[in-house]
Structure 1
């Protein structure tokens, strides 16, 4: 991509024009957040049980004494050897947020269908500390539309991101974030879920790349992402030279 090279005064004119749009975007985001918080809730009557480092726990237990729970649906299936690269990228952002979330009455937990042993092994490999539970053998992932059976994948469509999508992609696990609230009486409510690119705003790395001169520099969505222990020492040529062509 080529860029015009201009005087400082011309640059300031262009930057101020963009700032007007950025401020409008910020106000629109604030309005959208208000609508998100105003969504109606659904009371959960079904009991979900998970394997955790602290033993078997229900969804209610995962709140860890707080009133709000964020569950990241991490793509790590029972027969997978490693977690999804994109989910691993997301998880790299979790540990630093935990003290701030916890002190704001919010618990963050990842949930996968893999066994607890497989989760713990991958967690050790990646050096993470955040809570991560196994839903192996339960309905939690399927009920929140992030895991799919062979029969569903053999059909024409799967339900993901609140719509029916062609099932030919063959993904038995997909990412998402589901949010829950527990009231003073101990009732648990599902308040929100988001999937696919709806997760992007939680990825601070992408938000920073969007402000870098070459942006995300991707051919397909996040195709530059690797697990953090799999990057080559030097960046790929396309990443450092794309703007020079």
Structure 2
């Protein structure tokens, strides 16, 4: 544990109240951004996407499962993967228990990947999840949203120095670097109104942090995320911690 400033309770309370004012301002700013997010224009989804599910082939409208809102987490699990991305798996750990609560608010939450449906369902069973998971085999769904890249697009990255974390995650997923970074994570939101599906929101990168609950908790610990300078990522699948 590094050295840190030590103070009296009174000094701590004064500093805490000063920080609390900033935290409240950030909360209010978050509320404002949430409002603006809801006010984004909707885009009709005109392409006829098909999805393979455990109940057969379905359309995007079918995936709403009787509700008017749909959230899809784009899980990095490409056709050559032998297992899901460890980071996406940690996100799925957070998402899975939320499904029942979101249903109560007229929202269906599922995951979408490009691997064959049988491979996805087998991995879901291993991880102990129960959310709906669909395969986009033969569909441009991920590509159209910006979560699938060609080798040509990735060439500048592939020709450079590959970060150790990327090689680590590729190996953990049972594929090579190209196979791994071809996929990208993301979250997209949809509304179903009068038979028309509308895309209402898309995000990726740090926009996914609300689905990474452990980071919000780590941000409140004495050492925080404590990732600076690490050459490999600390995240593992939940059944792999403690393994060498």
* TM-score bucket of the superposed structures, by smaller chain: 0.7 to 0.9
Partner of 1:5: 6
- Residue aligned with 1:109, SS: strand
Question: In 1, distance between residues paired with 2:86 and 2:131?
Answer: 17
Counterparts of 1:109 and 1:6, CA distance in 2: 48
Q: Helix, strand or coil: the match of 1:70? A: strand
> Are positions 1:188 and 2:197 aligned together?
yes
Please name the residue that 1:239 is paired with.
Answer: none
Asked whether 1:232 is paired with 2:242, we answer: yes
Q: Which residue of 1 aligns with 2:92?
A: 91
Does the alignment pair 1:197 with 2:206? yes
TM-score scaled by length of structure 1: 0.86
Q: Which runs of no fewer than 5 residues in structure 2 stay unpaired?
A: 159-176
SS at the partner of 2:52? Answer: strand
- The equivalent residue for 1:78 is 79
Cα distance in 1 for partners of 2:133, 2:86 equals: 17
Cα distance in 1, alignment partners of residues 150 and 191 from structure 2: 28
Structure 1 SS opposite 2:111: strand
Deviation at 1:212, TM superposition (A): 1.3
Partner secondary structure for residue 65 of structure 2: coil
Question: Which residue of structure 2 aligns with residue 217 of structure 1?
Answer: 226
RMSD between aligned residues = 2.0
CA distance in 2 between counterparts of 1:201 and 1:153 reads 27
SS at match of 1:223: coil
Q: 1:59 Cα deviation (Å)? A: 0.5
Name the counterpart of 1:59.
Answer: 60
Alignment of 1:1-245 (within 5 A): 1-154=2-155, 170=178, 171-183=181-193, 185-219=194-228, 223-232=233-242
Deviations 1:168-210 (A, max 9, x none): x841001000110001x11000100000111002221111111
Number of equivalenced pairs: 222
CA contact (8 A) 2:95 2:211 kept: no
How much does 1:152 deviate? 3.2
Which structure has greater helix proportion? 2
What is the CA-CA distance between 1:219 and the residue it aligns to?
A: 2.7
